[in-house]
Amino acid sequence: MDHTPAVRRPVSRRRLLTGAAGVAAAGTFAGALAAPLPASAARDGHGLRIVDRNENGGRLQYYRFATDAIGWDPAVNVLLPDGYHTSGKRYPVLYLLHGGAGDFRQFHMHDNIINLTAGREIIIVMPDAATGWYCNPVSSNTGPRNWETFHMAQLLPWIDANFRTFAEYNGRAVAGFSMGGFGALKYTAKYYGHFCSVSSHSGPASLRRDFGTVVHWANVSSAAVELGGGTVYGAPLWDEARVTADNPMQRLESYRHKRIFLAAGTSPDPWNWLDIANETQVLAGQREFRAALGRAGIPHEWRELPGGHFFRHDIFVQDLNGMLGRLRRAG
């Protein structure tokens, strides 16, 4: 759930050079035994063809890809830990997912991610997702927009093939803000063996509450910004099987034995109706989800903080400490 995003112009984005830039089988240990690859060796594969890159030898690496899954060329920033180029170590990975109206640059340009993660032995992967709700949509009038395919079937194995990661369950975490917080919860449930830790910062956790408010918002925002009138879940009738598959409230057992972290604001800006609408729904949905996890005996961490719908840097640092405590240690 996010502020209404500006209309994207895919053509102007196709060769955007931004920021200092940049499985084998997902869930297997094979990648962890492969010969180490320097970041500069990044290459095509897994349905992705690199069309632009910036590998400047620093922490932040940038790549833009051509892929059949998306009708324009999406990008990713990969933030490496200090000393990556000389350590020879393998590292756990955090997939950090942006909200609607954002893109792969969000956490770098607006949220100080380089400084927030300084000294931490973890790789941070921050991909494009447009306003696609981390889904393969029911319909699109603007060409393919299969974000779930791009992230899970293509990008994740590409990262494991091109960086020194632990290509295994205990080597990956996923977190996100707003729409990205929903994406993190969704990917964790649908791809059970991929992530041992999931974090949702002001992300909705209940799709069907209040007559499906979140589903309607996903449909409306994706239709207006991303899909040219198409929808993520179908309208006026939903694809009920897709909603059920993506709804954290209906996938509770998929969160068992994982680290779960949830955060939401309790006092949206009273003069900002979007802030009220977003965080009020997020807070109610997270409370519903937390109660269900509690009844199921599934441990979880949570924070309720003053304020509305924004990414809280101090809470992310707390969350990162918890992730690193759960993930396999670099080495």
| C-alpha R_g of the chain | 18
Structural contact between residues 140 and 109, judged by C-beta atoms closer than 8 angstroms: no
Edge to edge, the sheet with strand 93-97 lists: 49-54, 60-66, 75-79, 123-127, 93-97, 172-177, 197-201, 259-265, 301-305
**Of 73, 103, 111, 275, which is the active-site residue?**
275
Residue that the structure tokens 């409230």 belong to: 249
Distance CA 213, CA 221 (A): 12
C-alpha atoms less than 13 angstroms from C-alpha of 65 in its C-beta half-sphere: 27
**Of 73, 103, 111, 178, which is the active-site residue?**
178
Distance CA 298, CA 277 (A): 29
Angle between helices 273-295 and 209-225 (to 10 degrees): 130
Closest CA to 77 of 89, 92, 65, 90: 65
Distance CA 26, CA 29 (A): 9
Query: Which run of H or of E encompasses 271?
Result: none
Omega within 30 of 0 (cis) for the link into 236: yes
SS3 158: helix
**Of 46, 108, 151, 309, which is the active-site residue?**
309
Write the DSSP string, 11-55.
HHHTT---SS----STT-SHHHHSPP--GGG---BTTBEEEEEE-
Q: Is 110 a catalytic residue?
A: no
Q: Is 52 a catalytic residue?
A: no
Query: Which run of H or of E encompasses 284?
Result: helix 273-295
Q: Is 246 a catalytic residue?
A: no
- Which residues are known to be catalytic? 178, 275, 309
